[in-house]
């Protein structure tokens, strides 16, 4: 295929429409062919005209491969085969096309050559309430589009249906003219595109936002992010990618757990995209319509800043996924919304498909002992060094050199080695390239490979992985634990105080080698087996070890906090501020003890002078309020304070969204948190104030937990002396 593939869509007739980048940067559309395929068990006996079946080599559960001449024949065959036995296929069909042709999206393009569009809308309501797409008189006021450094702002020219219809039609025109590969937005699924869809339906305007003259399609979807599920109305655009930076931020925060809000403005501040309030225009939600009518310049500036910040967030988080599609036979939108296991499966299935090798089913993986995790000390320590075993588990896998049991083709270890070589290549290029843009691209590429390589071990131990192998995963963790223990023993021989060890890294305190970490590294590295490398990964003036996997590091400039106990997003703001001051004080970044703040809070709580926003807790909804209401009506338990608060809100939030609530005073028959929870949006200092005693008890609990590190022993909440 001449040119670089930038978009793929399989229509209902089975024709493959592609968008290909030409040398001058334009996109050319083409029609390709697909012979849809599926793997079959021996028991499948369905016969369909237009479908050919071949027997595969080797052992496996799926020993035959079916190809269909047309999509209609394939659909008929799938339905019949499901009734007669086992069948396995790949969805969506676009991935089948990529896998079948060993093709990859954006293979020869840099991230800077990707044609990107940021989209953000502003809406208004006639009564000043939150704008609802279902309200006939609420409208889309403007649609902001950004292409590179150029804004294209589409503005409503009259408060009429006809004017709004023209506005929606102008969006179709703009996307057809600009022809972006990717449309990015912050919360674009739940708000922007869903709002536009509802208004377009009402005004009978087609959502013609895709390539090849195609309309958008919508369906309810879920994404698992760490321990919770996020509901959203997914939008798919034929030939294009929709990227929701709101979801990317949440996936990023799985490991960092540093963000207190996923809103665009908070995220932009966190990443340094907008470092100063003077850099951007702010408008309260209930002032947007007024600004549209009476201060158009400020309204446009506000919308433009939203577009700029959205682009800035995507600049940071999208490159990793962009590089993934150069590795996996997958669409970019799928890459942002699917887990690593299914992506790795596609790599293996591609090899098995082209080798015509029988495929296994995912094995059940029995529980096994995990990696080495131990906290050795509690308290504050100086002269801290961190040493890291580079890619410990992948290195051990390659050292063992054994493929998973059901990998009859033997592709696991060779593929892992090849990916490691690619990663090292781009890691070196990221260090040595003289071009800043190329360095950034190579860095994104090596980071993507690093994530992928480290995922191979986790893949082995996952029951849903087609080529999983729990025994091999257990062997890797066993060797990892032994290696970490050997390193701990060796460091101890050189008078180092071990503070924390976790999977592949060790924190230790040593005044002797603090300024000569390489000398210490040379003394210890000799015990490592071939292929395993120990790296010096940083030095810190102080470390506070609170408990296992919960600690704070200070390098003289920046504080890094690890562990959910020290950075919970759901904690009340006043306790979060107290915790931050505690960390700064203990590691020496501040001379101000938090004990003074404790006394101040105690006094302000007693007189209810503390703003409700400071005591309100914020939680992500794990269930849609309507579903929760039905669950409770049917006798379901437990009841949750955040969910009860959500039931009082209008409009009700959705699963995955945050709800801020506070606790009102106890009443007869109402003593539990869930009975006294009230959304902050409905706060009334006279009729529904917060309960000072409830929050004072929380303050005492905080002091009991952290007071010993400050030299305080507070029996019954009585403050002691600072050591």
> Model-level pTM?
0.84
Buried b (16+ CB within 10 A) or exposed e, 366-388: eeeeebbeebbbeebbebbbbbb
Q: Say if residues 250 and 262 touch (Cβ distance below 8 Å).
A: yes
pLDDT for 464 equals 86
Question: What number of helices (H) and strands (E) belong to the chain?
Answer: 22, 24
Local structure of residue 191 (DSSP, 8 states): I
Residue listed under structure tokens 């703001």: 573
**Cα 484 to Cα 371: distance, rounded to the nearest angstrom:** 9
Torsion sign, CA atoms 467, 468, 474, 476: positive
**Residue from 623, 653, 650 nearest 638 by CA:** 623
Bridge partners, residue 401, by sequence: none
Pairing state of beta strands 37-40 and 87-89? Answer: antiparallel
Given a contact cutoff of 8 angstroms between Cβ atoms, the answer to whether 621 and 655 are in contact is: yes
Neighbouring C-beta atoms of residue 666, cutoff 10 Å: 14
- What pLDDT is recorded for position 548? 83
Please write the tens of the pLDDT for every residue from 578-625. 999 999 999 999 999 999 999 999 999 999 999 999 999 988 787 888
**Structure-token pair, residue 256:** 């960092």
C-alpha distances (whole Å) from 255 to each of 14, 249, 250, 562 are 41, 11, 10, 9
Cα separation, 376 vs 441, whole angstroms: 40
Burial 249-270 (b: 16+ CB within 10 A, else e): bbbbbeeeeebbebebbebbbb
Give tens-digit pLDDT for 108-137.
999 999 999 999 999 998 776 778 899 999
DSSP annotation of 189 reads I
Low-confidence ranges of the chain (pLDDT < 50): 717-723
Sheet holding 37-40, edge to edge: 51-55, 64-68, 37-40, 87-89
What φ, ψ does residue 322 adopt, rounded to 5°?
Answer: -60, -40
State the DSSP H helix or E strand holding residue 617, giving kind and residue range, or none if neither.
strand 617-620
| C-alpha triplet 619, 624, 630: angle, nearest 5° | 120
Provide DSSP, 494-551. Answer: TT-EEEEEETTEEEEE-SSSTT-HHHHHHHHGGGSPTT--EEEEEEEEEEEEEETTEE
- The answer to whether 654 and 190 have CB atoms below 8 angstroms apart is yes
Distance CA 630, CA 271 (A): 40
CA distance 697 to 705: 12
Pairwise CA distance, residues 682 & 678, whole Å: 7
Tell me the torsion sign for CA atoms 27, 33, 35, 36.
Answer: positive
Angle CA 482–371–383, to nearest 5: 80
């Amino acid at each position: 295929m001449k040119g670089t593939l930038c978009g793929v869509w399989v229509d209902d007739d089975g024709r493959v429409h592609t968008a290909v980048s030409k040398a001058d940067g334009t996109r050319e559309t083409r029609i390709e062919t697909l012979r849809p395929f599926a793997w079959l068990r021996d028991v499948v006996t369905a016969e369909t005209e237009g479908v050919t079946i071949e027997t595969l080599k080797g052992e496996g559960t799926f020993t035959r491969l079916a190809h269909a001449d047309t999509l209609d024949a394939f659909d008929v065959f799938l339905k019949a085969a499901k009734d007669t036995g086992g069948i396995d296929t790949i969805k969506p069909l676009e991935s089948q096309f990529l896998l079948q042709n060993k093709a990859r999206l954006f293979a020869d393009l840099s991230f800077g050559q990707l044609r990107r569009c940021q989209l953000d809308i502003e809406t208004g309501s006639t009564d000043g309430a939150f704008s609802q797409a279902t309200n006939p008189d609420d409208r889309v006021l403007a649609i902001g589009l950004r292409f590179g450094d150029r804004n294209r702002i589409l503005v409503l020219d009259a408060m009429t249906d006809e004017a709004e219809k023209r506005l929606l039609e102008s969006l179709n025109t703009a996307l057809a003219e600009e022809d972006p590969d990717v449309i990015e937005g912050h919360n674009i699924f739940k708000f922007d595109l869903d709002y536009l869809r509802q208004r377009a339906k009402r005004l009978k305007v087609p959502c013609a936002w895709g390539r090849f003259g195609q309309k958008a399609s919508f369906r309810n979807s879920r994404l698992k992010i760490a321990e919770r599920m996020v509901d959203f109305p997914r939008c798919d655009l034929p030939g294009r990618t929709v990227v929701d930076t709101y979801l990317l931020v949440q996936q990023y925060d799985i490991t960092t757990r540093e963000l207190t809000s996923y809103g665009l403005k908070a995220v932009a501040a966190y990443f340094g995209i907008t470092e100063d309030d003077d850099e951007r225009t702010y408008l309260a939600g209930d002032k947007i319509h007024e600004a549209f009518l009476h201060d158009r310049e400020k309204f446009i500036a506000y919308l433009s800043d939203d577009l700029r910040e959205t682009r800035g967030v995507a600049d940071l988080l999208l490159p990793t996924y962009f590089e993934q599609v150069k590795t996996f036979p997958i669409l970019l939108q799928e890459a942002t919304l699917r887990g690593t296991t299914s992506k790795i499966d596609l790599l293996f299935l591609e090899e098995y498909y082209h080798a015509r090798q029988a495929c296994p089913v995912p094995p059940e993986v029995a529980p096994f002992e995990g990696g080495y995790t131990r906290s050795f000390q509690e308290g504050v320590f100086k002269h801290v060094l961190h040493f890291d075993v580079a890619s410990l588990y992948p290195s051990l896998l390659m050292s063992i050199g054994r493929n998973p049991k059901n990998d009859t083709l033997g592709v696991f270890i060779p593929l892992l080695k090849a990916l490691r070589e690619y990663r090292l290549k781009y890691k070196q290029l990221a260090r040595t390239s003289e071009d800043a843009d190329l360095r950034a691209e190579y860095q994104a590429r090596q980071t993507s490979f690093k994530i992928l390589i480290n995922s191979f071990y986790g893949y082995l131990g996952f029951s849903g992985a087609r080529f999983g192998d729990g025994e091999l995963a257990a062997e890797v963790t066993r060797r990892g634990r032994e290696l970490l223990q050997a390193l701990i023993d060796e460091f101890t021989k050189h008078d180092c105080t071990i503070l924390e060890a976790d999977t592949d890294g060790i924190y230790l305190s040593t005044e002797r080698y603090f300024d000569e970490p390489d000398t210490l590294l040379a003394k210890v590295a000799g015990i490592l087996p071939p292929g395993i490398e120990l790296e010096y990964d940083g030095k810190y003036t102080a470390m506070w070890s609170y408990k296992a996997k919960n600690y704070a590091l200070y390098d003289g400039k920046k504080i890094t906090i690890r562990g959910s106990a020290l950075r919970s997003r759901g904690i009340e703001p006043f306790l979060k501020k107290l915790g931050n001051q505690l960390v700064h004080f203990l590691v020496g970044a501040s001379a101000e003890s938090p004990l003074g703040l404790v006394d101040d809070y105690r006094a302000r709580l007693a007189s209810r002078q503390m703003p409700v926003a400071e005591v309100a807790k914020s939680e992500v909804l794990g269930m849609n309020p309507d579903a929760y209401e039905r669950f409770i009506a049917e006798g379901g338990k437990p009841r949750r304070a955040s969910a009860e608060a959500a039931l009082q809100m209008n409009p009700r939030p959705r699963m995955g969204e945050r709800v801020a609530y506070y606790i009102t005073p106890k009443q007869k028959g109402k003593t539990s948190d869930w009975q006294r929870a009230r959304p902050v949006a409905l706060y009334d200092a006279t009729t529904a104030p917060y309960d000072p005693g409830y929050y004072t008890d929380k303050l005492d609990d905080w002091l009991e937990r952290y007071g010993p590190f400050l030299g305080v022993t507070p029996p019954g909440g009585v403050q002691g002396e600072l050591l």
